[in-house]
Amino acid sequence: MGLKIIANKLIVYGIFLMLLPTLSYADALTDNISEALLKINNFLDSNQYEAYANLIDFVFFSLLFVSVYLIGARYGFRELGKPEKTIAVLLGFLTAFLLVSGGFSIIELIPYVSWIVYFLIFLVVWLVLKGIHSKFGRFLLALIITLIIIALIGGYFENLDVVPLEG
């Protein structure tokens, strides 16, 4: 019985030794990253993503609405167990499916990105000013600071010289 165990171990070690040269071959990490980035760049430049536009929209909307429904379920139910999470995930996937099958796309949301950024800036300023007890005063000060931040950022990018890339 002892010989059988030793023979099995020798077989396993022999297979490991035969596979060892294939495990030790490796390229430089920078080469792999640069090749991957070039492939992504070529994929986007040649508009090959258009064949996958519905899939990209579905994945984006799924992640967005699953997140929203999970946040809503946390407030809607007292505890967030597996059934509630399952319902939120199914609702997120169904909403994404309905939006994609209805013809909606991420590209239609591009004009609203600046408004979303403005709202997020306002929300951060609102949270920073939580020491102010007057809600109207807090709102007004947060709005003024947000408008100043937007004006400063807009002025910075307005004077920024962008050099077009060749190629």
DSSP the chain: -HHHHHHHHHHHHHHHHHHHHHHH----HHHHHHHHHHHHHHHHHTTGGGGGHHHHHHHHHHHHHHHHHHHHHHHHSSS--HHHHHHHHHHHHHHHHHHHHTT--GGGGGGGHHHHHHHHHHHHHHHHTTT---HHHHHHHHHHHHHHHHHHHHHHHHS---PPPP-
Query: Into how many domains does the chain fold?
Result: 2
pLDDT digits (tens, 9 = 90+) for 35-66: 888 888 888 888 888 888 899 899 999 999 99
Question: Exposed, middle or buried: residue 166 (CB in 10 Å: 0-12, 13-18, 19+)?
Answer: exposed
Low-confidence stretches of the chain (pLDDT beneath 70): 1, 21-31, 159-167
The pLDDT of residue 2 is 73
pLDDT digits (tens, 9 = 90+) for 104-118: 888 888 888 889 889
The pLDDT of residue 119 is 92
**Is residue 47 located within the same domain as residue 65?**
yes
**Is residue 37 located within the same domain as residue 84?**
yes
Q: Which domain, by its residues, includes 49?
A: 31-104
The pLDDT of residue 27 is 60
The pLDDT of residue 80 is 80
The pLDDT of residue 23 is 59
In a domain, 52, yes or no: yes
**Is residue 75 located within the same domain as residue 119?**
no
In a domain, 115, yes or no: yes
**Is residue 131 located within the same domain as residue 81?**
no
**Is residue 57 located within the same domain as residue 89?**
yes
The pLDDT of residue 82 is 87
pTM above 0.95, yes or no: no
**Is residue 37 located within the same domain as residue 79?**
yes
Query: Nearest Cα to 56, choosing from 45, 69, 68, 47?
Result: 47
